[in-house]
Amino acid sequence: MRFDDTKSDTLNLRVSPSFKQALKAAAEHEQRSMVNMLEVLVANYCDANDIEVPIQRSALGTRATNSAD
């Protein structure tokens, strides 16, 4: 699974300092941003658990496509 949407939604999270440090350490280890690390983790979780995420329609009404690499 990939999140190919344009990054336009905002999500504010309140997390413990230890969670933030763990996320930062994992992201640095993978040479990713913390946001990208969360995206990768959630995408992998959905793939591993057969969770299908609905495709959002763009503002123009065209469907986004999921592309397999």
Q: 41-54: per-residue pLDDT in tens?
A: 999 999 999 998 87
Q: Encoding tokens for residue 13?
A: 């999270």
Angstrom distance (rounded) from CA 16 to CA 61: 39
The whole-number average pLDDT for the span 5-28 is 91
CA neighbours within 13 Å on the CB side: how many for 13?
A: 10
Instruction: Check residue 33 and give its pLDDT.
Output: 95
pLDDT recorded at residue 69: 46
| 38/41 Cα distance (integer angstroms) | 5
Beta bridge partners of 63: 57
| Angle between helix 17-29 and helix 34-48 axes, rounded to 10 deg | 90
